[in-house]
Structure 1
Amino acid sequence: MKKDIAKMFWITVLIVAILTGCGKSYEERLIGAWYGAGENEPEFVLYSDGTCDIAETSGTWAVVNDNIFKLDYTYYGLTKTYTITNLKDGVLEIVNDNEERTLYNEPTEEVSVDDTITNDAEINNDLEASVVEDADGAKSSVRKLEGDGYSSPEESVEAYINALKNGDIDAAVSTFVIESYVDKFETRAFLERLGSWSAKTGWGRGTKITGDSYEHQLLIQGRAADITQNLYTQYVTYSGFFYDDTVIPLFEENSVDEFLDAYQGEGFTSSMATMELKEFVDPGSLTEVYETFMEANSQRSTAYFGFDEYQYIAACIEINGEDWLLAMTCCKDGDKWYNLEQGGDLGSLLAIPLSSAGLIPYSELDI
């Protein structure tokens, strides 16, 4: 009998211990630093007193209603809210209407920046406008993709809008810095800020590692492809595909025919043909925290682009009789202006989904 009582006692202790360990709250498990994939600097650090370090400033955080994660940026006056979908083995997965994030409680990758990286200035001096010469003296012609530039950032954005209206992708791409983007890109500054490198990171960027002509051509094509990829996601988003990086299953009988029948036609093309620029809008009128947010973010995000001046442009466009907003980042190269990014920092501030490439109906803006 005594043995049975002792046995039951220890079973009870074990069950309590297990339940206590499993019952650890989200708040307790979230305390600490959380990193993006391949980053050495944490996205945010959460403290047990409800304060946090985030985006180079301070703030507060909380978990409400069991799984709703809130971050308040004290400096910017912003609040971001996510639903926690997974928190296990040092991996945090959160989602809201605009993004899905996966974060880790320790850095996942690291590539050090050392003196083996070719100096950007030396590479740039060896590059000509239409001919590239590698270390062995071999030359190859490169078709110039960027245009001649514009006298103002508004003109570059207007040219981009007209190209979209006409369905002319080459013309749209030519309004952006392409070759100049690659040539001026500060590889060292970018890698030092990012703290890591991967082939995916380099593609679409101007990260010059070897510095030969073949890499240079790849980076130019990658830069142009990055712009057209954004245009494609914008196209399928507003054509009704609801682009979100998920796979649409087509295993059921007749599912392929049903899918093609549902979306065949002109898609967003016919809507783009109705585009009319109504006016340029002061970005500061769209949100009260524009000045402080942009000052902080522009210094960080433009540190490695290498251009003379930057400007955020907001344009009101009419599409099919409805007002839309286009958010763009422009840059000045010498005495000419070009488009730099679709959406960019302004798009992030206004919570415009990345898949929209900076273009969104006014009715969907939270302003």
Structure 2
Amino acid sequence: MKLRQTVFLFLCGCVVASSLARAEEEDFKRSQFYRGISAHFVITAVAQADLNGDGRDDTLILYREAEDAINQAGGLLGLSPSGGDWKVLLHLFFESVYPKKAAMSGRDLSLEFVQTGPQGVKTFPRTLVRSKDFHLRQDAESPFAGAKITASSTLKREGVKPENVFDQDLRTSWAEGADGTGVDESVSIEFSRSVDLGLAGVLHGNFRSSRDWKDNNRLHRAEFTVETGSDRYDAEGGVDFEADLGLGLYGDKIDISFSNKPVMRYVRLQKRGVVSVQLKITSVLLGEKNDDTHVAEIDFAEWVSYARLTGSEPAARPAPEKADKPAEPPAKAPARKSDDWTDEDF
């Protein structure tokens, strides 16, 4: 009898341990970065690898465009657990191809790519080397290291500075400090050197808790201005249009809309040689208590062109890109017992 009980308890322990391990392995799905990518792209694979060499497994999420087309693009999102949440170690978006397999060995990131061309589907391998072909966010050589963040206004209160939108801490946020709802206020990120950008993601609102998110204004619509070196400088004349002539910010305008849900929203940029990005508030969802608009985090995926990856140009792509979906109307949140986040909020 005792033997049966011992065996039963042992088997129960194995089942519980297996369930906990599986739940821990899939905890990345609670990350806002994963939620944002999986909402707009198809996940092709998930792999475990030690990206930063700290001896612990990080999570590599591979994804592609949702629609079928020639030269389907896709990306790689590398996440590392950090204090009960997740932070981005690496985010790449590839032109005209998408990754379906990944493995890390030392500083070598081995990838298998899929290309959907006019003659059918083909696969090919590539190995990217850290510090040569890519940099982690923590690397001093990263194009995102040393970025300067400024805002048109900031609420006069502790803990809501502009730098919070680019600190990988989702519980912090920038809050504009202008009179009114915050429409036309902006936050800008100026990079220490030019960078090719494929995607931009925004987590809107005060994400510290569900109560804070509801109490304060969050974004309904916003506009990115993506400025390249040629937008800012006249190389031949040596003129800085903004600093020397006071002409203001130039660059492509990209609209982004948000639902009344605390989920990161990604849009395409696909611009080379970007020196700064500005996010301007154009419409807000009103908070229940305060009239200040918050932005919790901005993420970027570095754009890897087909030529940079393969040394040649892709075939022409006749299929048009799908337009962004319009924002959902504000939704009334159900009553809840806790002010902290639960899966029902997303």
In the superposition, the TM-score normalised over structure 1's length comes to 0.28
The structure with the largest alpha-carbon Rg is 1
More helix by share: 1
More strand by share: 2
